[in-house]
Structure formats: structure tokens, C-alpha cells
């Protein structure tokens, strides 16, 4: 912060001296006796000494320091007759004629919101968080041009101007996917605009970015439609895979039947072996059952009437 401090010592001493001289002149003109004159002079000197001591005790308030302080403040000195003083350093103040104007030069946060349109004519609500502070070296100029409420006068207008110019360069979808680039452009242009008004921006960040209800509903509907299309495509692919599986399975079964026919034609004993294995499976199933079942030999798929099998049994 930059501050201007008031000073009283010099002015108080001057007033006391003028008072003493006035009293001396008045006593001399009236021709008062020397004893009463000495008494009055002593009283006046006592008053002067008291005023001087009081002024010396309060001398810290007699200087306006425009070079800054450790408390984060800096001061500018203004005279009612000559105007604002531009040079820095310590200034001896004349009461009433000169007075301090205190500026806080620490960075202060400020939130700025704006409603603007994107490149595809979609309304966008965007909010910025700005850390700003005055340029300490140009406080007199800042006070003359903008006053102490410089941030209220400048930041909202230049922020809206920059936001509208930057957002208009991007589509609504690009504002979401390219948010870092949008924030960088806003920060760069806003820094340049603030310098023209002796304002320093320490940081600029996008805190909120939202769209209209209609656009949000349209985006949600589009996402739902895309999900439905993807689901339908999945079902189509699944049906194709099932059809391909059935075709391959049918081709395999046909090839197996063909090979089995060729094997039976070349060797009839293969068919008899299959009958025996089938009978074994049936017998195993019946044996594990709790019910007693009487089956004929024909139901066991054993061709006992076959001459070759009969001869095999006799052997």
C-alpha cells in the first residue's frame, strides 16, 4: 500500500511565531509599561515553547512519504492550490493545503462475469477471477485520470471487451476442448489493456463457463443419440458374428459328416465301433439310475442279428 502522511510541526511553529510578533507589535503600539510587557512577553514565549514542544512531539505526522511503506501502502500528496505532486520522497505538509491520498498496492481479487456469444452464435456465460493492483510509480496519474475507485471504472469494461473478442473466435465445443488456449488469450489481451490504465494484473483465470439451457439440452440429446447409435451398431455386429458362427459350425458339421461317410465306406467296422460306444454310454447311464430298467438287446443298439457279430460272439 502507498500512503501520504500529514505534517504539522512547521506550520505550528510558523503560527506561533506570527502570534508572538503580533503580540509584541500590539504592546509596543499601546505603550504598555516594561514590566507588564516583560510579563506578557514571557507568557507569549511560554506559549511558543509549549506549541513548539507539541509540534515536535507530533513531527512524524508532518511528513508525507510518497516512496512507499512496509505495510503494503503508498501515498500521493495533493495540494489544494497547486494540485497533485508527482515527485516522490518525503514532503513537508502544510495543514489544510496538503493532504495524503492512500492507495493499496497489494493484489486484490475481483470476479467479473460476462454473457457473450461464440463463433457459432451460442450464448456463453463466462466468469473471470482477476488479481489486480495499481502501478506504484504512476499513482499521481492514476488518481488524476481514474481516482481511487480505478478498479470499479476500468476492470469490468475492459474485461467484457476482451471476453467478447476472444470468445467470438471459438465455437461452443472448442471453448470446452481448448479451454487452456482460451484462458491464455484472455490473459494476454487483458494484461495489455490494463497497462494502458496503469493497472497491473498478476493473474487471470476462468472460474466458470456455462451455456444456455437450450444448448445444454441439445448436447445431452446428441450424446444420447450417439450412445443409442453405438448400441445399435453393437447389436448389428453381434448378429453378424452369430451368423458367421452358425455358418462355420454348419460347414464343420457338414465336413464331419462327409468324412464320416467316407470312413464308413472304406471301413464298415468303424460304424460298429460307434454302436458299441453308444451302447456303453447307455449302459452307464442306466446303471447310475435309481430305477430298475429292463431293456432288450435291440434297444442297446447292439445288432445281435448281425451275422458278423454273432460269429464274433461264438469265437
Q: Give the model's pLDDT for residue 1.
A: 41
> Which has the higher per-residue pLDDT, 158 or 91?
158
Q: Which residue has the higher pLDDT, 309 or 253?
A: 253
- Banded model confidence at residue 97, pLDDT cuts 50, 70, 90: low
Q: What is the pLDDT of residue 212?
A: 85
Strand partners, 132: 108, 201
- Comparing C-alpha atoms, which of 109, 110, 93, 111 is closest to residue 101? 93
Mean per-residue pLDDT, 140-144: 86
Query: pLDDT digits over 190-222, tens only?
Result: 999 999 999 999 999 999 999 888 888 888 888
54-61: average pLDDT:
45
- Domains along the chain? 108-211 (3.30.479.30), 269-314 (no CATH)
- Cα 291 to chain centroid distance, Å, stands at 79
Least confident of 22-26, 178-182, 249-253: 22-26
> What is the DSSP secondary structure assignment for residue 301, as one 8-state letter?
T
**Residue 70 — very low, low, confident or very high, per pLDDT cuts 50/70/90?**
very low
> Lowest-pLDDT range, 118-127, 159-168, 192-201, 210-219?
210-219
Predicted pLDDT of residue 235: 93
Rounded Cα distance between 246 and 70, Å, is 86
Higher pLDDT, 314 or 248: 248
**Residues 6+ positions from 248 with CB-CB distance below 8 Å:** none
- Please check the confidence at residue 153 and state whether its pLDDT lies above 60: yes
pLDDT of residue 301: 52
- pLDDT > 70? residue 71: no
- Which residues are within 8 A (CB) of 73 and not within 5 positions of it... i.e. 6 or more apart? 1, 2, 3, 102, 103, 104, 105
State the cell numbers at 232.
445399435
- The helix-helix angle for 150-167 and 179-195 (nearest 10°) equals 140
pLDDT tier for residue 189 given thresholds of 50, 70 and 90: very high
> What's this model's pTM, rounded to 2 decimal places?
0.52
Amino acid at each position: 500500500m502507498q500512503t501520504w502522511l500529514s505534517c504539522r510541526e512547521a506550520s505550528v511553529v510558523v503560527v506561533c511565531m506570527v502570534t508572538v510578533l503580533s503580540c509584541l507589535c500590539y504592546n509596543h503600539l499601546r505603550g504598555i509599561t516594561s514590566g507588564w510587557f516583560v510579563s506578557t512577553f514571557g507568557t507569549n514565549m511560554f506559549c511558543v515553547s509549549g506549541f513548539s514542544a507539541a509540534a515536535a512531539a507530533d513531527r512524524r505526522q508532518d511528513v508525507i512519504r510518497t516512496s512507499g511503506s512496509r505495510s503494503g501502502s503508498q501515498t500521493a500528496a495533493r495540494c489544494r492550490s497547486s494540485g497533485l505532486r508527482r515527485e516522490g520522497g518525503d514532503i513537508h505538509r502544510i495543514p489544510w493545503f496538503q493532504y495524503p491520498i492512500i492507495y493499496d498496492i497489494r493484489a486484490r481479487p475481483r470476479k467479473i462475469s460476462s454473457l457473450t456469444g461464440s463463433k457459432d452464435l451460442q450464448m456463453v456465460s463466462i466468469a473471470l477471477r482477476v488479481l489486480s493492483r495499481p502501478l506504484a510509480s504512476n499513482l499521481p496519474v492514476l488518481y488524476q485520470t481514474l481516482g481511487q475507485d480505478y478498479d470499479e471504472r476500468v476492470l469490468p469494461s475492459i474485461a467484457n471487451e476482451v471476453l467478447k473478442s476472444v470468445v467470438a473466435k471459438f465455437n461452443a465445443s472448442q471453448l470446452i476442448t481448448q479451454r487452456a488456449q482460451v484462458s491464455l488469450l484472455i490473459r494476454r489481451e487483458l494484461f495489455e489493456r490494463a497497462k494502458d490504465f496503469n493497472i497491473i494484473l498478476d493473474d487471470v483465470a476462468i472460474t466458470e463457463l456455462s451455456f444456455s439451457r437450450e444448448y445444454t439440452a441439445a448436447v445431452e440429446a446428441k450424446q444420447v443419440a450417439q450412445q443409442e447409435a453405438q448400441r445399435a451398431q453393437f447389436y448389428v455386429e453381434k448378429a453378424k458374428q452369430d451368423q458367421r458362427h452358425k455358418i462355420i459350425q454348419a460347414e464343420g458339421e457338414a465336413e464331419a459328416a462327409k468324412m464320416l461317410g467316407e470312413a464308413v465306406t472304406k471301413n464298415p467296422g468303424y460304424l460298429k465301433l460307434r454302436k458299441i460306444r453308444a451302447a456303453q454310454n447307455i449302459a452307464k447311464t442306466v446303471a447310475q439310475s435309481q430305477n430298475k430298467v429292463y431293456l432288450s438287446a435291440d434297444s442297446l443298439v447292439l445288432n445281435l442279428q448281425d451275422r458278423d457279430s454273432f460269429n464274433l460272439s461264438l469265437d
